[in-house]
Structure 1
C-alpha cells in the first residue's frame, strides 16, 4: 500500500477526533459532513477496527481510536513542521491560521494588520471569524482568538497582551444642550445611559479616582451588543455611552459627539490574543502573534 493510500482519511479522522463530531470537522475542512463521515468509515474499514463510539447524540474515541489519534496527530504535526522548516529558510510563514475576534474591534484594528501581514507572507492563509461570542478554541478548531476585556483565569489558554483600549464617556451636543452636561460623577445618575450588554455591568460605570476604583450609577435606558449601533444612538442624542477611542475618532473630530468628564479616568479595557496551552506554537502562529503585538497597540489609541 502506498503512503498516499495510508494517509487517506487521516486528516478527516484527526479533525473529527479534535472537534468532537463530524459536523464540526467538516466545517473546519470546508467539506460536507457526509464526506468526512465516509472518509472516516473507509479508514476504519481499511484498519479493520472502529475508531469512534457513535450514538445518535454523541461521538467518542474507542481505545484503538485514541491510540491511533495520538500517533496520527504527531505525524500531521511533523508534516506541518517540515513545511515550516522549509519555509523558515525563506523567512516565510506557510499554512492556514484560523483566528476569531470581536466584530468591531476586529474590523477596525485587527483585520487591517492581518491584511498587511498577508501581503508580505504569500504562503499564509488566514481564516477570520468576526463574533462577539466567546469562542471555545479547542472545540471549534480555532488557532488564535483576540479577546477584549479582563480574562478569566484559565489553565487551558496561554495569552499575550496586545494593548489597552482607552474608554471615554461621550454624548451628542444636542443631548447635552437638552439635559445638561455632567460635571461630577454623581451627576450621571440624572442621565440616560447607553450600555454594552455583553461587557458592562448594566447601570454602572467604573472610574479610577486617585488610583482607587469608584462606581457611578446610571439609568440604563438602552442596552445593546453592537458598538456601531451604540455610537449611532449617541449621535442621535439618546444618551451617554462609554466607548473606545479607536471607534470615536471621526465623530469626536467632526463634533458629532463630545467627550464629557475629561478629568475622570474610565477604567481601560485590555486586549489579548490567546491560544490553547496544549498547542505548540508553530512558526505561522508566532508570525501572526508577533505582528499583532507590534501593530495593534498604536491602532487602539485615538
Structure 2
C-alpha cells in the first residue's frame, strides 16, 4: 500500500479543525475536495475514519488510532524538514580541497582554517600536491589551480585571485655579474630554472630568450632561497618574494619584455557543475574571493 501523504494531511487537519468546512478553509480547498480526499483515504485503508452527522464529525475507534500515529509521523517529518533546512542554512560537513604545495600552504590553507574557525561544523581535508588532480577520481570537492585549466572543460572554474611574476636577483649576484639591460643580456646570466620531470617552466610565457640554466629545481621555495644566496636570477611569483624584495634580500629587475606576456596569472577555484551547489563549497569559494587577493599583497 502506497503512502497517501496528502490524504493524511487533510485527515489530520479535518480532525484538528472539527469539520470538513473548517479544514477546507485552512487548506485553501473546497469542502467537496476535502470530503473526496477523506473518502479516498478511507477506501485505501478499508476503514471508516469518521462518524459523520449533519451536526458533528467524530472519529471512529480506527480513526482515533490512525490519528495518533499520523500526528507522530507528521511531527517526525516536520522535524526532518527543519533539520534539512537548518543544515542548508549552516555550513557543515567535510570539505576536501586540493591545492598547489607552496601556494596552498602559504596563501590558501590559512584562509580555509580561518573559515573553519568561523563554522564549527565544517571539517577540512587539505591536500597539497602540484600535480593536476581529478575531482572525481581523487574525491575532492574543490581544487585550487593556477595552471592546467585546459584539462578542466567539465568543471566550473571561478577566478579567485591573480598574481604577477617577478624577475629578481640578490644584490651580491648583481654586484658580481652586473644588471642585464635587455633579454639578450639576460640569456648570458645564471638562470635558476623550475623543472618538473623533464619539462622546464618557461619565462615570460615562453616568449623570452633561450636560457642555459646551471641550476634546476622542482620547488619554487628552493629557487627563492638560491636567489637570495646569490646563485643567479630567478623568475618567481610576487607573493613568494615580496618580503625579500621589501627587505632588500632581492632586487627586482625591470627589462623590456615581450608585450604578449600576461601581466598577471589567474588563480582559479574549480568544482563539479551542480545546480544545487553545497553551501560549504559556495561559502569557501566566496571566502577565498574576498580574502585571497589582500593576502597575496601581504605575503
Q: Would you say the 8 A contact 1:161–1:272 is kept in 2? A: yes
Q: Would you say the 8 A contact 1:204–1:218 is kept in 2? A: no
Q: CA deviation at 1:245?
A: 1.1
d(CA) in 2 for partners of 1:86, 1:186: 63
- Which residue does the alignment assign to 1:21? none
Alignment partner of 1:235 is 2:248: no
Partner of residue 256 from structure 1, selected from 249, 263, 286: 249
Q: TM-score, normalising length from structure 2?
A: 0.65
Q: Would you say the 8 A contact 1:84–1:93 is kept in 2? A: no
d(CA) in 1 for partners of 2:82, 2:222: 47
Alignment partner of 1:87 is 2:109: no
Label 1:220 to 1:237 Cα distance change in 2 as closer, same or farther (>3 A). same
- Which residue does the alignment assign to 2:66? none
Of the two, which has the highest radius of gyration?
2
Label 1:287 to 1:199 Cα distance change in 2 as closer, same or farther (>3 A). farther
- Which residue does the alignment assign to 1:187? 185
Label 1:190 to 1:119 Cα distance change in 2 as closer, same or farther (>3 A). same
Q: TM-score, normalising length from structure 1?
A: 0.65
The range that moved more, 256-265 or 172-181, is 256-265
Q: Would you say the 8 A contact 1:203–1:220 is kept in 2? A: no
- Secondary structure of 2:125 counterpart: strand
Label 1:280 to 1:192 Cα distance change in 2 as closer, same or farther (>3 A). farther
Label 1:125 to 1:197 Cα distance change in 2 as closer, same or farther (>3 A). same
Cα displacement string for residues 49-78 of structure 1 (whole angstroms, at most 9, x for unaligned residues): xxxxxxxxxxxxxxxxxxxxxxxxxxxxxx
Give ranges in structure 1 of 5+ residues lacking alignment. 1-80, 208-212
Q: CA deviation at 1:150?
A: 5.1
The range that moved more, 279-288 or 178-187, is 279-288
Q: CA deviation at 1:257?
A: 1.0
- Which residue does the alignment assign to 1:270? 266
Q: CA deviation at 1:146?
A: 0.3
Label 1:261 to 1:200 Cα distance change in 2 as closer, same or farther (>3 A). farther
- Which residue does the alignment assign to 1:178? 176
Q: CA deviation at 1:215?
A: 2.3
RMSD: 2.7
- Which residue does the alignment assign to 2:152? 154
Q: CA deviation at 1:140?
A: 1.0
d(CA) in 1 for partners of 2:156, 2:110: 24
- Secondary structure of 1:119 counterpart: helix
Alignment partner of 1:292 is 2:285: no
Q: CA deviation at 1:88?
A: 4.0
Instruction: Give aligned pairs, total.
Output: 216
Label 1:85 to 1:262 Cα distance change in 2 as closer, same or farther (>3 A). farther
Bigger strand share: 1
Q: CA deviation at 1:203?
A: 7.7
- Which residue does the alignment assign to 1:24? none
- Secondary structure of 1:215 counterpart: coil
Q: CA deviation at 1:263?
A: 5.9
- Which residue does the alignment assign to 2:195? 197
Cα displacement string for residues 161-205 of structure 1 (whole angstroms, at most 9, x for unaligned residues): 112111100111111111111111221110111122249973842
d(CA) in 1 for partners of 2:155, 2:256: 37
Q: Would you say the 8 A contact 2:194–2:201 is kept in 1? A: no
d(CA) in 2 for partners of 1:276, 1:180: 50
d(CA) in 2 for partners of 1:132, 1:97: 19
